[in-house]
Structure 1
Amino acid sequence: LDLWSQIYLLDRGERLGKFITHYRTRYFDSDFMGFDYKPKKGAEQAITKKISDICISLKAKDYLELPSIIYNEIPVDLDKKALKAYQDLEKNMVLSLEESEITAVSAGVLTNKLSQCANGAIYDEDKVVNHIHDCKLERFTELVEELNGESALVFYNFKHDKDRILKALEKSGLEVREFKSPKDEEDWNKGNIDILLAHPASTAYGINLQYGGRHIIWFSLPWSYELYAQANARLFRQGQEKPVIVHELLCTDTVDHDIKKSLSEKGQNQEDVLRALKARLGKE
């Protein structure tokens, strides 16, 4: 699905259409919530054929010597109270808390609220943060300890996630910093930062962090495969000398696993398209 914008920049919509909505309707089917999309039968081959005259398939691992990348899915079990809150919100699209009531007015909003709930806090209609649980946060701090002093690049999705992480680590004795400027990039690569917090959108392109560590922790995964892949590529890139380990905190029986499944499928679809283009170029 992310391919449309890249091709549009090359041909202004000649091959895949001038509007992403038309592209999505023609080549993809949505799930019942209208939030996730899967290619229709034959769509992959049709798309590959349309773009093969202007695309060359090159992946970094095809022409660079890179270490391995390892994906480590870490299960997080919600306690009974947290699980009940999550299930109430999922079933009723409403969650009654002591100080406010959380309402999801659409399927898309519900998915966003469920993701927040799995993380441990949730915004109400007035953007006030409501604490739900610390299950994922506690597993996160345990993971940081398990790294035995190795630095970690931590990605978050919601501001309240970042704020809670900063508070949880403020007495850890670690050098914890939020990515804001080139100075942070420089200090990270010099090994002066233990935990670097970043939103995936803020580090998606043009940032080189491969010299400062090999561990990535996803406190919460994004729906966008492009953001996910580009964020991981901040460490998994030329100049990295050690295997990169991508730790993903996934709450059991929650939307976390739906997002992970969606990312895996999008990644596989991209791999298939690149493989097909490579095979086609090899025949010419």
Structure 2
Amino acid sequence: MKFKPHQYQEHAIKHIIDTHAAGLFLDMGMGKTVSTLTAVSDLLYDYFDVSNVLVIAPLRVAEDTWSRESEKWDHTSYLKVSKVLGPESSRIMALDMKADIYVINRENVEWLVNFYGKKWPFDMVVIDELSSFKSSKAKRFRALKKVRPFIKRIVGLTGTPAPNSLIDLWPQMYLLDQGERLGKTVTSYREKYFQPDQRNRTVIYSWKLKEGAEKAIHEKVSDICISMQARDWLQLPERIDNIVKVRMTDKVKAKYKQLEKDLLLPFLDGDVVADTAAVLSNKLLQLANGAVYDENGEIQKLHDEKLNALEDIVDAANGKPILVFYSYKHDLERIQQKFKKAKPLDSSREIADWNNGKIEMLLAHPASTGHGLNLQDGGHVIVWFGMTWSLELYQQANARLDRQGQKHSVIVNHLVTEGTVDEDVMRALEGKAVGQNALMEAVKARLEKLA
């Protein structure tokens, strides 16, 4: 297929070629992969500026997206992609192969760094979903930090650079510029731009921006990071967001309140216990969905209200395929019991079947579906059976359908149980989106300025 880049893709390609440390904050579905492949091809064989390219990506993306995208386009089809995946012996064999691009899943970054040590061979590294390196304490970040001085060119791709707050930005920017813009340590970054928010004596639970800090951070990174949002560049079909209210019976509502108040919900064969705030939040989300794990790992079923609401949506869809995002294994099992034709997304086969119209209901967990998968050809109806606190997972999951190539209005249905933590999650997601949109807006590429 012949690649005819949009204007924003031409700018993205030029930015990668012109900037040795490039951040590309492109909305989901705007063609980050093909833009990067084009730049990589030029740097390899037109500029002769790099010789060994490594792509770090989520597992499903590493398995499927980069090789499929390179084969899809005429101008990149000659690129040889080696997948450094699977058991160690397979990974070593893949590294020994002669290739243009080596693709590895992010869970194996630490292994790769230890495998090569100071003989690190990759002079260009592309981090697909840079936001997965948002923790400075994570092993993958620390490993890549070790070899960062050996990397000549680095590209960070993401649609969600600050999924929770601007605190998340420091590790990502460090991998790009080694601390040149936001400081050499996360401590100095926090001290300069943030002040303690929620705390318990000496323990600080959250940070808030100092006055003027947000603008200062945006200005610091704007020279190497460009941001482009789909609504500014693409004529996408309208997205419709629905809140489907779910009501528990008074009896179940009383059990929910009991668990919320006492941190304990007794059953004959095993109690539901929540000994910390995080565990309580998790248990309440489960209960809002209709079932909860007890202390023995067994499922305690409490209601079918969300299953009934999902059935109403299926009936209203009148045969149209539905993509359902679930949160817990018991959600998956209960949905499969009620909807016999529902298929879980386990492999590339389900992706192909969905896009070919062979699956009526596709069941997916947002953590394994959120990045890089193209599902827009298979349908345009989404149902969130269980909510997620993660803005990144939420936005990325929705973008599997709400992306370039979608021909219909995408309908996103949220099953929200009234009077439960579901409502808190919805409010939190909306609040986090405000901060991230400010970041995206602040570093948005202005092509008219370049002109």
User: Above 0.5 in TM-score?
Assistant: yes
Over 3 Å counting, the alpha-carbon distance change for 1:87 and 1:60 in structure 2 is same
* Counterpart AA for 2:241: Y
Q: Which whole-Å CA distance do the structure 2 matches of 1:110 and 1:255 have between them?
A: 10
Q: Which whole-Å CA distance do the structure 2 matches of 1:259 and 1:28 have between them?
A: 23
3-state DSSP of counterpart to 2:292? strand
Q: Which whole-Å CA distance do the structure 2 matches of 1:130 and 1:82 have between them?
A: 12
- 8 Å CA contact retained: 1:153, 1:216: yes
Q: Which whole-Å CA distance do the structure 2 matches of 1:16 and 1:73 have between them?
A: 42
- 8 Å CA contact retained: 1:16, 1:47: no
Q: Which residue does 2:243 correspond to in 1?
A: 73
Which of these residues, 94, 106, 109, is aligned with residue 264 of structure 2? 94
Which of these residues, 129, 136, 146, is aligned with residue 316 of structure 2? 146
Which of these residues, 233, 245, 248, is aligned with residue 63 of structure 1? 233
Which of these residues, 210, 235, 238, is aligned with residue 376 of structure 2? 210
The TM-score with structure 2 as length reference comes to 0.57
Q: Within the alignment, does 1:220 sit opposite 2:390 as a pair?
A: no
**Residues 100-135 of structure 1: CA distance to partner in whole angstroms, max 9, x if unpaired?**
111111111110011001111111222211111111
Q: Which residue does 1:103 correspond to in 2?
A: 273
Over 3 Å counting, the alpha-carbon distance change for 1:23 and 1:237 in structure 2 is farther
Superposition pairs of residues 1-284 of structure 1, within 5 angstroms: 1-2=162-163, 3-4=168-169, 6-12=172-178, 14=180, 15=182, 18-19=185-186, 23=190, 26=194, 29-30=197-198, 39-40=208-209, 42=211, 43-170=213-340, 175-278=341-444
The TM-score with structure 1 as length reference comes to 0.88
3-state DSSP of counterpart to 2:194? helix
* Counterpart AA for 1:26: F
**Residues 82-113 of structure 1: CA distance to partner in whole angstroms, max 9, x if unpaired?**
10111111111111123211111111111001
Over 3 Å counting, the alpha-carbon distance change for 1:90 and 1:41 in structure 2 is farther
Unaligned runs of 5+ in 2: 1-161
Unaligned runs of 5+ in 1: none
* Counterpart AA for 1:83: K
Over 3 Å counting, the alpha-carbon distance change for 1:27 and 1:178 in structure 2 is farther
**Residues 149-171 of structure 1: CA distance to partner in whole angstroms, max 9, x if unpaired?**
1111000111100100000112x
Over 3 Å counting, the alpha-carbon distance change for 1:51 and 1:192 in structure 2 is same
Over 3 Å counting, the alpha-carbon distance change for 1:255 and 1:211 in structure 2 is same
Q: Which whole-Å CA distance do the structure 1 matches of 2:196 and 2:361 have between them?
A: 39
Q: Which residue does 2:58 correspond to in 1?
A: none
Deviation at 1:57, TM superposition (A): 1.5
Q: Which whole-Å CA distance do the structure 1 matches of 2:351 and 2:279 have between them?
A: 34
Task: Name the % identity.
Answer: 43
Which has the greater radius of gyration?
2
Q: Which whole-Å CA distance do the structure 2 matches of 1:19 and 1:203 have between them?
A: 30
Q: Which whole-Å CA distance do the structure 2 matches of 1:133 and 1:17 have between them?
A: 51
Q: Which whole-Å CA distance do the structure 2 matches of 1:140 and 1:16 have between them?
A: 48
- 8 Å CA contact retained: 1:29, 1:40: no
Deviation at 1:16, TM superposition (A): 6.6
Over 3 Å counting, the alpha-carbon distance change for 1:196 and 1:99 in structure 2 is same
3-state DSSP of counterpart to 2:242? strand
* Counterpart AA for 1:139: A
3-state DSSP of counterpart to 2:225? coil
Over 3 Å counting, the alpha-carbon distance change for 1:269 and 1:38 in structure 2 is farther
Give the aligned CA root-mean-square deviation in angstroms.
Answer: 2.8
Q: Which residue does 2:123 correspond to in 1?
A: none
Over 3 Å counting, the alpha-carbon distance change for 1:123 and 1:267 in structure 2 is same
Q: Which whole-Å CA distance do the structure 1 matches of 2:350 and 2:174 have between them?
A: 34
Which has the higher relative contact order, 1 or 2, with Cα contacts under 8 A spaced 6 or more apart? Answer: 1
Q: Which whole-Å CA distance do the structure 1 matches of 2:184 and 2:409 have between them?
A: 40
* Counterpart AA for 2:359: I
Tell which deviates more after alignment, 243-252 or 40-49. 40-49
